[in-house]
Structure 1
Amino acid sequence: MVNECMLTVMTEQAQTRNERKERTRQALLDGTLALAADRGFAALSLREIARSAGIVPTAFYRHFASLEDLGATLVDDGVTALRLALREVRRNSDAGLAETVRFVFGQVAERRELFGFLIRERHGGSTALRGAIALETQLIVRELVADLSRLRALDAWSPRDLEIAADLLVSTVADGIAAYVAAAPRETISIIDRTVMQMRLIALGIGAWTPRQR
């Protein structure tokens, strides 16, 4: 009985430590987003990020290996999660173009501060962060290329043709997200509707275009 009680206490203590560690880790991520909104990620120091979470700088390394590791985690939280979610949407054959676009904006709305950070940093001062965002974006393009290649109407298209089309679609949505996160709440619906229309026009162009017209 004593051993069981000790085991229970130790388990509860471990859970409490893990919960505290997770709260601190999230505080570091949230503090980074708040600080980067004013000056950009490249201008931030480890010391001020640690201070935003209420910890000493040396304690930062209990959660992240470096500032670049923290930045990569934010990319994972945003672009990677969105890529995986889109993969699930594409598996639903009933999901149309408009539904997919609106799904993307729904994800952005839930984490607007994070996506605002990613949009700013994709052309920001941190080379490592730009590279991580570009890599994840390219993975989305590649998965879209695979989807387009399955369309019988595009059988005559070369891999490069498909990549150009996929890149155009992804870039259009990225531009829409950039406008969305910078807009006033009353403007967001019109931005989503405009992005849906742009995607429909691109889809119509893809359907009418053939490689012979180049």
Structure 2
Amino acid sequence: MPDPAPSASRQEQKERTRQSILSSALELSLKQGFAQVSLRQVSRHAGIVPTAFYRHFESMDQLGLALVEESFSTLRQMVRDAQRDPEVFENIIDAAADVLVETVKQRKTHFGFVSRERMGGPDVVRTAIRHELDLFVSELAVVLARLPNIEDWSSDDVQMVSRLFVRNMVTNAEEVVEMPDGRPDLEERIKEGARRQMRLIVVGFKDWRS
């Protein structure tokens, strides 16, 4: 029976190179924005020749789309975990503020990428970010539809309030991205601001009629 190890090793090396390209593009885009980063710069930073880049991505646009996908994967997992965890659901406002800040701190480069590129990136990247935010609104709406006083709302209204929460989330995430390391005072201020903003949205639930 042939030894599968060489094939597995090649696949691992390919994945490492792919991740190196993604990490290099993220790091370079921190300094100058993704639109200004060239394929040659990414290849040089990743320690590969430009022709090797094309074994992983067809173009810089495709690389940008992969970065968007990678950046939003954490957010999607965050919503799915919230649906499965009764404690998070019962204390959704306090838990959401804590989870958001911790998630952004762990993936600062990815959230920084989204923050910069959603307004100033290439068209294909901006469009992909808008699409991912719309998907996130839809996934969050499924969670919110289970909250008290909202069960009988129309789907359009649930989507509307979900979009308000997502806009709040994006604003607070951007504040966390800009927050210097080692500033628990600023971190707590962001969390408390997020809680107050979400409570303000929720106050209107009881009296709203679709």
TM-score by length of 1: 0.86
CA contact (8 A) 1:80 1:136 kept: no
Distance 1:123 1:161 in 2: 26
Aligned runs of 1:1-214 on 2, under 5 Å? 7-8=2-3, 11-95=4-88, 96-97=91-92, 98-151=94-147, 153-185=149-181, 186=183, 187-207=186-206, 209-211=207-209
Count of paired positions? 204
Distance 1:125 1:103 in 2: 27
Distance 2:66 2:121 in 1: 17
CA contact (8 A) 2:79 2:139 kept: no
Distance 2:121 2:139 in 1: 28
Question: SS of the residue aligned with 1:153?
Answer: coil
Deviation digits for residues 68-111 of structure 1 (CA, Å, limit 9, x no counterpart) = 22112111212133113312212223212211331122221111
CA contact (8 A) 2:79 2:140 kept: no
**1:155, CA displacement in angstroms?**
4.6
**1:152, CA displacement in angstroms?**
5.6
CA contact (8 A) 2:172 2:194 kept: yes
Matched to 2:176, the amino acid is Y
What stretches of structure 2 of length at least 5 have no aligned partner? Answer: none
Percent of aligned positions that are identical? 36
Structure 1 vs Structure 2 CA RMSD = 1.9
CA contact (8 A) 1:165 1:206 kept: no
Q: Which moved more, 1:135-144 or 1:189-198?
A: 189-198
Matched to 1:60, the amino acid is F
CA contact (8 A) 1:145 1:166 kept: yes
Question: SS of the residue aligned with 1:62?
Answer: coil
Distance 2:111 2:148 in 1: 35
Which of 1 and 2 has greater Rg?
Answer: 1
